[in-house]
Amino acid sequence: MNIFKMIHQDIHKLVHRVFPSVTEATLARISVEPPRDASHGDMATNAAMILSKEAGKPPRAVAEMLIEGLKDIPGVTGAEIAGPGFINISLKPEAFKLIVPHVLETGARHFGDSDLGQKVPVNIEYVSANPTGPLTVGHARGAIVGDATANLLAKAGFAVNREYYINDSGKQVEVLTDSVTLRIREVQGENIGEIPAGFYPGEYLKDVAKAYVEKNGNDISDRQKIRAFAIEYLINEIKIDLAEMGVKHDMFVSEAKILGDGEVESALQALTEQGLIYQGVLEPPKGKAPEDWEPREQTLFRSTQFGDDVDRPLKKSDGSSTYFANDIAHFYHMYKHGYQRLTCVVGADHGGYVKRAKAAVKAMSAGKAELHMPLVAIVHVTENGNPVRMSKRAGTFITLRDMLERVGAGVMRFIMLTRESGQTLEFDYARVTEQSKDNPYFYVQYAHARCCSVMKHATNMFGALPDDVLARTNLAPLQRDEEMALIKLIATFPRVVEQAAAAEEPHRIAYFAESVAAGFHAWWNKGRDDGTLRFLIEGDKDLSMARIALVRSVAVTIAAALGVIGVVPLQELRSEVEVAA
RNA sequence: GGCUCCGUAGCUCAACUGGAUAGAGCACCUGCCUUCUAAGCAGGCGGUUGCAGGUUCGACUCCUGCCGGAGUCGCCA
């Protein structure tokens, strides 16, 4: 149930009636949204300003033509023209109150679900860390953003496939094999001295080596075997980390398998057929010409035809395909499996890669598929503002597991979503674990726990209060501003979900959760100053029950938002008791 | 030098893909616990949205040019 959408549709009908010749393009630009300032009413529409040009009349005159019709829409109590031509609409409180039984009936798992996505298949790829070492906090952020985006798209009605693309081919895997081989010799008692340049230095490779020796003995002659073992071992470690963070994938796609299946050839064939591949020589990069630059003829893709800056090479000088060519094959693979909408969550260091990847997807699908490539910026880990040292064990980075052991998955998931993903994120160990309102994770959980506390008292007073019973509560006694403000806020959740999904910005859900928590904390405290605002009023069962229904729907709404983020709502903060799903 | 991302209150960040008077938290002031968790709430202070133009009813948002930061730049992935 999306109140804004319902009114939006009514306004569309009205516009059609008053301006029968209105074009779809114009209609699509009409929006209905909650005004920033609550004194402007419950909803505002820009319809008059949008229609002004086509109608050939000033916005306020157009508004005059719409206003009577608006007042006839069910639930609307008033409409007035404001500012440059906005129409502010007021609704009956009862129209908003319908959200409460709706929330209670649909429950935390499904409140806010939308059919926006029309079950369109979307492939979303995230993490996709190379199987050469443990996941870092940088990977953690990508994993969380990807996983939450997938949750969000699923909630908005897309048919989501979650993919991990394993880069188990190429140079880095050979370096890994060499590094593990060296460590096996070390495990066998050889003094290997300093790890030479060009090898992975991380001590975690000792564990890989030990496990290899335990299983396969001391023989290091079989390179293939070592490579396969190391990849499997490290992927398994990665899977353990992801599972502990609650990050899910539907499929793990192996790059080596895609290459082995000849998918690069078929992808390049598709491009060749369109005349998009040629032999040519690239210009050196402008301004910064490397000393060793030499013009070289190579196989190039005409990515400039699709908005890229230069054409991109597909073959290395030894004839093998570049990473870019392999990626095209990967996208082509997903496209052939029915995904025209591809999202690929990558680190900010891939910024220069976005244009060519988008160009490739457009080209190989003949314009039918589209790639989104959100960039996830780096995480600065601090403690009381001081940078946290990097883990020696991992080589150079703080591992995901370090952070997980330190603060837990819930904190990580929430905090990592409190910034737009392109923004660098400061993650302060002290701040994210303290129990105060500086810590948004705590603040939201605290609101949920307070709701649960009220429910406990309510149950003592009135007996069991299941949601389906509360859903039938008479809400007429809810008349205070604080109550209506919360109801209106809850009613925006379906809209927030749709907009966040359209933008693929899961952090908006975290902000929404914070605002609901703030509204609830405010209501709670008003009850201290004003006894008539307390939730449970002796001798007034009707009012108490109505407020209980609202408190419960606040809890469900917070739980629904946390569900998208992937955080389990807590019933109590002291003992960290988890709510049963 | 090219490209990408970023620049918003003293600090950390939002702003519903172009909407009305740019909002929160921290910090700094002032209040609120015999009452369901004060782990909180209410109020005050704080802005030329990096700069200069442009587009239009209307710009933090779009376009152009500068300034500053990060990332990246043919056989790494």
Could you give the CA distance from residue A294 to residue A281 in angstroms, rounded to a whole number? 10
**Distance between the alpha carbon (CA) of A554 and the C1' atom of B8, Å:** 31
Asked if residues A422 and A504 have their Cβ atoms less than 8 Å apart, the reply is no
pLDDT band per the 50, 70, 90 thresholds, residue A497: very high
Question: Which residue gives the smallest C-alpha to C1' distance to B72?
Answer: A352
Structure confidence at residue A395 (pLDDT): 64
Say which nucleotide is closest to residue A37, CA to C1' distance. B20
**Distance between the alpha carbon (CA) of A130 and the C1' atom of B11, Å:** 37
Structure confidence at residue A392 (pLDDT): 58
DSSP A159-213: EEEEEEEE--SSHHHHHHHHHHHHHHHHHTT----SPPTTS---THHHHHHHHHH
**Res A219 pLDDT > 50:** yes
Mean pLDDT of A304-330: 89
Say which nucleotide is closest to residue A492, CA to C1' distance. B16
Structure confidence at residue A555 (pLDDT): 94
pTM confidence score: 0.93
Asked if residues A268 and A276 have their Cβ atoms less than 8 Å apart, the reply is no
Structure confidence at residue A307 (pLDDT): 80
> Which positions 194-223 on chain A have a beta carbon less than 7 angstroms from any atom of strand B?
none
> Which positions 463-492 on chain A have a beta carbon less than 7 angstroms from any atom of strand B?
none
Q: Over chain A, what is the mean pLDDT?
A: 89
Question: pLDDT tens digits for A34-77?
Answer: 887 777 888 899 999 888 888 888 888 889 999 989 989 988 99
Mean pLDDT of A14-22: 88
Q: Kindly determine whether the C-beta of residue A292 is less than 7 Å away from any atom of nucleic acid strand B.
A: yes
Mean pLDDT of A244-252: 95
pLDDT band per the 50, 70, 90 thresholds, residue A451: very high
Q: Kindly determine whether the C-beta of residue A521 is less than 7 Å away from any atom of nucleic acid strand B.
A: yes
Question: pLDDT tens digits for A120-176?
Answer: 999 999 998 899 999 988 899 999 999 999 999 999 999 999 999 999 998 899 999
Owner of token pair 């040292």: A389
pLDDT band per the 50, 70, 90 thresholds, residue A437: confident
Question: pLDDT tens digits for A371-386?
Answer: 999 889 888 888 877 7
Chain B nucleotides reached by a protein CB under 7 Å: 1-6, 12-17, 19-26, 32, 35-42, 57-58, 70-77
ipTM of the prediction = 0.90
Structure confidence at residue A577 (pLDDT): 39
pLDDT band per the 50, 70, 90 thresholds, residue A394: low
Residue A407 to residues A243, A306, A378, A402, Cα–Cα distance (Å): 16, 44, 19, 9
Structure confidence at residue A534 (pLDDT): 85
Structure tokens that stand for A163 in this block: 């993919």
